[in-house]
Chain A
């Protein structure tokens, strides 16, 4: 298979506008003849469904929650980037492009990233027009804050609830189209397969999570906006329901999976407290604007803290190591996520971690409170401080927060071309579900930007170009391909609910999930090496075999069955986990969030190998226990010079 990214010709800054002009259009009267399926109602999905409905297509939109407003995007805290340059601090589209490409450690496509930076400015206009209450200055103009990996202030925010407000904006646009009859919404519905007819995506199969009904939906194109797969680690900052199933089922039907091993471990999360823990909570990166990260210089002090004999306030100023400020003086506490996380791990590995587990570092606001007053800090971060106090039972205005890195975001995802189309014609992937814009590391506040860019400003054009070239004839859902796909799903469900499983004394679905997560975290987490990865691969295969032999389930299909829902998702994670390990093993370099211990500079920074690895790894599925085939898309850099990323 030859991968064609379909990047338009011409100078970087003109590619998108030229491409828009060259694309074919569907005549307004014809749009209503085309049906489009949008799976997902997060920023990417809600924005796409609303925009396509406005244009006149017939849209069906699906989500597994009880309302589209609850998609995982709702949880994003810190903000959204845009190259508005309202602060007049030297920002520009080119700078946002450059920061993002560099932040991704030169493993993303120039053309995609430039387009993202270009449309970022329209996003803010759109959201304000929808009534998104962004933070404002006293003069009434929009306020900005800084995020990691940038030296300009370009992040727009709504308290610590930016994702919520952006999603509610998109949800309101979606609601308007639902009322207008242009979008039909299916809640509590889980997509379980893509239907491919004559090489093109022509529909999906879903399970109604309340009745268990398996349903076929036919359309002219299918958009997967189903989010990331961080929950393969079991513990992550993702919502409990976030899963890879939609993307994975598409992968099994022939869509290549890009860069699966690129995962983002976020430096500022509330540390793990015990075995009962079901998820990890993020403390927004925006806190690093005012918080200072440190650990004790002396191992003895750290040990005393771990045993509860000392507290942070007992450690004198000269005995504290502000390690990010020390190592990266120009970015300091705002060093990018991959670097900050790795450094936190290093100091903890050296025995200087705090908290009772020793797996935590401090994020200290004492100086900021002294400088600006508690009221100012409360106004900026009040809800985050409250959340911290509720979970940890400690007052962060008085004691520094304890934080530790946690899985947060996945840069990898379905491979897509410049038009956001996967390797299956008519199947698109948007938002976190695709691999496209963040390379090997995502900068803060750029996932929200990408989700909305894809949904509001890219897909309405590129999808039109595809549909304009295809007849409006519909395929009935009694077509053999639909029936075959339905039968396969029913068989899988029947197997999971057969006596073998309901009468089994084996492990529960959650136990399998936790075990998989631990393997992933230990061997394919913040740092990786060849031996560990090989070991992990064997362990995952074993775990998967056991899962299909004895995982414990209960109940019927024809009801709301939470065990079955989870089992179907974990089954897919057990396949994805292996592919992540394979990809990490293949990539014999370190870049961004992918840190291979064998490849580091003398100072312990990631060492890329541009000569051999400046490619996107796109993997082809050949069967559950078969080897995968690797396809490479070479990354060509015409505008930026590849250098070692420095934040010193």
Chain B
């Protein structure tokens, strides 16, 4: 479809002070929605390029630009976030950086908020702290091999379907949309994607029990909510990570608990 110029009202969450964690609960840093009229925005622009334009205008007026996270702008680094008109990453099933203004033809009001979850405190404006995800991986999202292994890469063949399933799980970009989409702010889709990838591969077999136990324990410690199987995470995941990973993780977890050495 041909390029079109859009006019709309952009409502953006502005928050100068960071949220704080006090005794496990989140203390808000304040903040409010601020409205900016936007004019002549090309449908060919990406959503973030639209925000770039807003920020250049604000800067010229001597006002603080809106802080938001982004880096690759190719949908792969997982740095961009934004809760747009009630959906993480906006109305399409993609990342915010890959969202284009052509998805907003005829829309008069666009609301932009940060990810909202107890485990993701707001740092400033639309920027949140997703360090909890890193800590979950540190708890066990790896295979314990040191640099310098001496096993030829082709020594253990892996059936193509298994390798492909592992790859599909490994596609997760760690953006946090699953948490933002979930009414309980559960991180199950994220955690299960890593657990699945490593449980599917023969290389990950040895540590599979402790891995799932430790990662789940860390997930709980970070304050993520529980999973009630509504499937909102899968529906909003820009990388189409499947709910079957959660089912697999539940099996892994149950099996680990029943046979665990860590009692």
Contacts and interface: CB of A to CB of B under 8 A. Distances in A.
A158 B164 CA distance: 9
Interface in A416-437: none
B203 A125 contact: no
A75 B76 contact: yes
B62 A554 contact: yes
B141 A274 contact: no
B154 A278 contact: no
B154 A142 contact: yes
Contacts of A627: none
A125 B98 contact: no
B167 to A, nearest CB: 4
Given A86-B154, A142-B153, A276-B49, A240 B63 contact: no
A400 B132 CA distance: 43
Interface stretch (A168-176, A332-340, A346-354, A633-641): A168-176
Contact of B138 (A133, A137, A158, A178): A178
Main DSSP-derived SS at the B contact region: loop
Contacts of B142: 130-131, 172-173, 175-176
Given A66-B130, A176-B144, A387-B98, A128 B52 contact: no
A126 to B, nearest CB: 6
Contacts of A239: 71-73, 77
Which one of B139, B142, B201 has the highest number of Cβ atoms from chain A below 10 Å of its Cβ? Answer: B142
Interface residues of A, number: 81
Given A179-B139, A554-B59, A158 B130 contact: no
Contacts, number: 218
A136 B170 contact: no
A109 interface: no
Contacts of A134: 153, 163
A134 B167 CA distance: 8
Contacts of B147: 47, 50-51, 54, 126, 173, 456-457, 460
A129 B203 CA distance: 6
Contacts of B203: 128-131
Given A67-B133, A278-B73, A393 B167 contact: no
Interface string A538-570: 000000000000001011000110110000000
B22 interface: no
B49 A393 contact: no
Given A239-B77, A241-B71, A130 B145 contact: yes
Contact of A175 (B141, B154, B171): B141
B241 interface: no
B248 interface: no
B227 interface: no
B127 A560 contact: yes
Interface string A169-191: 00111011011000001010000
A240 B70 CA distance: 8
Interface in A147-170: 158-159, 161, 163-165, 168
Interface residues on B, range: 35 or more
Contacts of B158: 136, 140
A514 to B, nearest CB: 11
A133 B166 contact: yes
Which one of A129, A173, A239 has the highest number of Cβ atoms from chain B below 10 Å of its Cβ? Answer: A129
B197 interface: yes
A74 B75 CA distance: 10
A159 B133 contact: no
Contacts of A187: 131, 134
A127 B79 CA distance: 24
Which one of A67, A241, A555 has the highest number of Cβ atoms from chain B below 10 Å of its Cβ? Answer: A67
Interface stretch (B40-48, B82-90, B105-113, B253-261): B40-48
Interface in B128-157: 129-131, 133-134, 137-139, 141-154, 157
B149 A129 contact: yes
Nearest to A137: B160
Nearest to B158: A140
Nearest to A504: B62
A161 B76 contact: yes
Contacts of B79: 65-66, 70
A92 interface: no
Contacts of A70: 71-72, 77-79, 174
B10 interface: no
Contacts of B144: 176
Nearest to B77: A70
Contacts of A552: 59-60
A203 to B, nearest CB: 25
B42 A274 contact: yes
Contacts of B149: 125-126, 129
A130 B127 CA distance: 31
A562 B72 contact: no
A504 B203 CA distance: 59
A138 interface: yes
A171 B77 CA distance: 13
A139 B157 contact: yes
A555 B152 CA distance: 55
Interface in A42-92: 47, 50-51, 54, 65-70, 72, 74-75, 84, 86
Nearest to B16: A559
Contacts of B148: 122, 126, 456
Nearest to B200: A133
B52 A554 contact: no
Contacts of A138: 160
Given A161-B171, A171-B137, A393 B98 contact: no
Which one of B77, B102, B147, B201 has the highest number of Cβ atoms from chain A below 10 Å of its Cβ? Answer: B147
B204 interface: yes
A403 interface: no
Nearest to B202: A131
B138 A175 contact: yes
B98 A563 contact: no
Contact of B145 (A129, A136, A185, A511): A129
A442 B224 CA distance: 45
A371 to B, nearest CB: 22
Interface of A: 47, 50-51, 54, 65-70, 72, 74-75, 84, 86, 122, 124-131, 133-142, 158-159, 161, 163-165, 168, 171-173, 175-176, 178-179, 185, 187, 210, 239-241, 273-274, 276-279, 281-282, 387, 390-391, 393, 456-457, 460, 502-503, 508, 510-511, 552, 554-555, 559-560, 562-563
Given A72-B77, A125-B150, 16 more contacts: A47-B147, A51-B147, A67-B130, A67-B131, A69-B174, A124-B153, A129-B145, A131-B204, A134-B153, A139-B157, A142-B153, A142-B154, A187-B131, A273-B44, A393-B102, A560-B67
Interface of B: 1, 16, 18, 42, 44-46, 48-49, 52-53, 55-56, 59-60, 62-65, 67, 69-79, 94, 98, 100, 102, 123-124, 127, 129-131, 133-134, 137-139, 141-154, 157-160, 163-164, 166-167, 170-171, 173-174, 197-198, 201, 203-204
Which 3 A-B residue pairs are closest in the complex by CB-CB distance? A140-B157, A172-B142, A133-B167
19 contacts: A66-B129, A67-B131, A68-B134, A124-B153, A129-B143, A129-B149, A131-B142, A131-B143, A135-B163, A142-B153, A142-B154, A164-B171, A172-B142, A240-B72, A276-B42, A276-B49, A502-B62, A510-B56, A511-B56
